[in-house]
Amino acid sequence: MKLFFAVILSSFVFSILNAVTKVSISGNDLMQFSLKEFEVKAGEEVELEFKNAGSLPKIAMGHNLVILKEGVSAIAFGGKAMQAGANATNALPDSVKGDVLAFTKLLGPGETEVVKFTAPKKPGIHQFVCTFPGHYAMMRGVMVVK
């Protein structure tokens, strides 16, 4: 009986120590994210599911989700990505990834991607954005690290 409780307790402790925050967000043909803000715990694993819920072709209305490092403005980053050559087939040039915490690939209609990352250990606010050309003006939000 003691062994049974020891196994249950260790499983519980393991699950607490390895907690995962799951977040689901979609983007649509109106250039809107389904969430404008979400919270994660500092240092915790995050599993982000992103879906392009639109129906327009990827070349015209592809979407990605890029979470930026603390202090990086989504508007400024979107402009920087455009200047670096962001386009309808490569919305996140390698040269700007130094400002990025996590990102999805560019998705077409009905496509979904799951990315896993560790939330920063320091509480703060991290903006997220779609970097498909021009979308950064409307498709923005914040990840709050508590």
In a domain, 4, yes or no: no
Give the residue numbers spanning the domain of 80.
Answer: 20-145
Closest Cα partner for 91 from 136, 37, 26, 137? 136
Count how many domains the chain has: 1
Distance CA 20, CA 88 (A): 32
Each residue's pLDDT tens digit, 94-137 = 999 999 999 999 999 999 999 999 999 999 999 999 999 999 99
Cβ atoms 74, 96 nearer than 8 A: no
In a domain, 2, yes or no: no
For 121, the token pair is 């250990």
Residue 6 pLDDT level (bands cut at 50, 70, 90): very low
In a domain, 64, yes or no: yes
Give the pLDDT of residue 19: 85
Residue 2 pLDDT level (bands cut at 50, 70, 90): low
Distance CA 75, CA 137 (A): 6
Instruction: Using the predicted structure, report yes or no on whether residue 30 has a pLDDT greater than 90.
Output: yes
Instruction: Using the predicted structure, report yes or no on whether residue 11 has a pLDDT greater than 50.
Output: no
Helix (H) or strand (E) holding 77: helix 74-83
Each residue's pLDDT tens digit, 47-94 = 999 999 999 999 999 999 999 999 999 999 999 999 999 999 999 999
Q: Domain holding 62: CATH number?
A: 2.60.40.420
Question: CA distances (Å), 89 to each of 9, 24, 41, 74, 108, in order?
Answer: 49, 24, 33, 20, 11
User: Cα–Cα–Cα angle for 52, 86, 113, nearest 5°?
Assistant: 25
